[in-house]
């Protein structure tokens, strides 16, 4: 699913005429956001439990330019990000839900992603020595148990965030924030930019954002559902 969930899906694929309802300053803002969006770096959440963490990670990803978030659902805790924390950021994202990690892995592998799980274990790579000039997905696990054994068996590698204090672990949302910030800084430093959408991808996303920016979109597009 895209656009953060089912409640946003009906507004996709609308004609670019939505642009005529927006002020130039808003269109310029949308253009800047789209220019800095990436689909070659993504975050995977493995069976999270806490709605605050779910929302906080989404908000970090949206704010930093990550367009896609992939979610392996916890069968005991539905994926329902805290709305007060998310602040509506999910509508700007492509949030894809999976029943199993195998489904998620297959989807990302078919698109050429390398998968790395956050886990402190022998052989894990420091986040600061990783490269991000190709398609990379980083995986964060359950708040209590970390990533599953299935994830560890199916990834290309593991990584850890070097810590210099007495504490050797941080909350999942804090870890995601640190990692996404590091990735984007690395890409800007080494690639000269963060965004990497093709012209077609950028145009599609731009048109979607135009529609989602309209407060009266339900009324404006009434009767025009595909």
Residue positions forming the annotated binding site for S-adenosyl-L-methionine: 118, 161
Strands (E), 51-201: 68-72, 94-98, 114-118, 125-126, 136-140, 157-160
Hey, is 154 helix, strand or coil?
helix
C-alpha neighbours within 13 Å on the C-beta side of residue 62: 21
Q: What's the rounded Cα separation, in Å, for the pair 60 and 144?
A: 21
Which pairs count as long-range contacts for 108-114, CB under 8 Å and 24+ apart, including other chains? Answer: 108/42, 108/44, 108/70, 108/137, 111/135, 113/42, 113/137, 114/156, 114/157
C-alpha neighbours within 13 Å on the C-beta side of residue 17: 6
Residue 97's closest CA among 114, 81, 84? 81
Cβ within 8 Å of residue 223, ≥6 positions away: none
Which residues are documented as binding site?
A: 118, 161
C-alpha neighbours within 13 Å on the C-beta side of residue 4: 25
């Amino acid at each position: 699913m895209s656009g953060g969930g089912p409640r946003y899906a009906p507004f996709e694929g609308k004609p670019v005429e939505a642009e005529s309802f927006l002020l130039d300053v808003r269109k310029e803002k949308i253009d800047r956001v789209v220019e800095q969006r990436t689909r070659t770096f993504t975050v995977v959440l493995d069976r999270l439990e806490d709605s605050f963490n779910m929302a906080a990670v989404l908000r970090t990803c949206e704010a930093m330019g990550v367009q896609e978030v992939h979610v392996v659902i916890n069968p005991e805790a539905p994926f329902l990000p805290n709305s007060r924390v998310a602040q509506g950021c999910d509508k700007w994202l492509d949030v894809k839900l999976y029943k199993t990690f195998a489904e998620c892995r297959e989807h990302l592998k078919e698109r050429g992603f390398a998968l790395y799980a956050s886990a402190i274990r022998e052989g894990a790579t420091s986040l600061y020595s990783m490269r991000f000039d190709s398609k990379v997905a980083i995986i964060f696990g359950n708040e209590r148990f970390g990533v599953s054994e299935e994830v560890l068996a199916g990834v290309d590698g593991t990584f850890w965030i070097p810590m210099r204090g007495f504490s050797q672990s941080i909350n999942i949302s804090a870890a995601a924030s640190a990692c996404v910030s590091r990735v984007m800084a690395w890409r800007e430093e080494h690639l000269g930019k963060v965004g990497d959408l093709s012209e077609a991808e950028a145009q599609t996303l731009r048109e979607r954002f135009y529609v989602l920016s309209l407060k009266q979109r339900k009324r404006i597009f009434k009767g025009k559902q595909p």
